[in-house]
Amino acid sequence: MFVEVVFPLPFRKAFTYSVPKELQEFVNIGVRAVAPFGKRTLSGFIINIPNSISLRKDEIKPISDILDDKPIFTNKTLKFYEWLSEYYLCSLGEALKLLVPQGTDVETKRKIIVDKDFINELLLREKKKDSIKFKILLELSKRDELNFSLLQKVVKKKNIYSQLRQLHNQGAVTIVDEVEGVKVKAKKVKFVKL
C-alpha cells in the first residue's frame, strides 16, 4: 500500500510513501502521517491512496506513524483547500496546516550523545587550538548530551556536519534523531479578584 503525502512546506507536489502492514488499517485520506523528509521527520497530510505508482519500490520510504484516528478533512473540503492554495499561491500542505491547531506538528530534533572519555582524549591530541574541530571537542567535553542546533550556536558555525560525522564514525559521539511530539497544552490565565 502506498500513500501520497503533502507537507506544510512550500512544495507544490505530493510525496509518495509506503505504508507498513501494522499501519495499513489506520490509513485514510484526510489523516496526518509522520514521515521522513530529507534528514528530518515531519507530519504531513495524506491526500491520496493510489492503486499503482510509477516509482521503483526501493526508492520509496515508509511512513512512521499515523497521528489521527479519524480524517480531519473530506474529499469535499480537500477541493476547497486545493482552491485556497491556488488562490493564495501557497502549497496544499500549507493550506491544510490551517486545519490543525498550532503546536500539533511533529518534528525531529538531532541530539548528540557524548562519550566524554573519548572526547577528552581527542581534545588532548588536537594540535590546532583555533580550529572548528577544537571548538566542537571543547564544547562536547563539557556535556553528556547536546542538541545539534545548540552546538551550532555555541561554536558559531552552521556547517559542522562533516566534523560530527567524523566523530560519529570514530565512536566519540552518537547522533540520535528524536521525534518531538505535540506541544499543545491548556492555556492558564492568572487573575486577581478585588
**Of 39, 180, 175, which Cα lies nearest the Cα of 114?**
175
Residue 160's pLDDT band (cuts 50, 70, 90):
confident
Sorted by where each starts, the structural domains of the chain and their CATH numbers stand as: 2-99 (3.40.1440.60), 108-180 (no CATH)
Sequence-distant (6+) residues with CB within 8 A of 6 are 14, 15, 44, 45, 47, 91, 92, 93, 96
- ∠ CA 121-125-128, rounded to 5°: 135
In the prediction, which pLDDT does 83 show? 94
Other beta carbons within 10 angstroms of residue 62's beta carbon come to 13
Q: Average pLDDT for residues 127-156, to the nearest whole number?
A: 83
pLDDT tens, residue by residue, 80-131:
999 999 999 999 999 998 887 676 666 667 788 888 888 888 888 887 877 8
Main-chain phi, psi angles of 151, to 5 degrees: -60, -40
Residue 23 vs residue 185, higher pLDDT: 23
Residues 134 and 151: their CA atoms lie apart, in Å, by 13
Give CA separation, 59 vs 56, 72, 91, 121, 155, in Å.
6, 29, 24, 41, 36
Q: Average pLDDT for residues 60-87, to the nearest whole number?
A: 90
Question: Residue 159: is its pLDDT beyond 60?
Answer: yes
**581527542: which residue's cell?**
122
Share of the chain above pLDDT 90, in %: 26
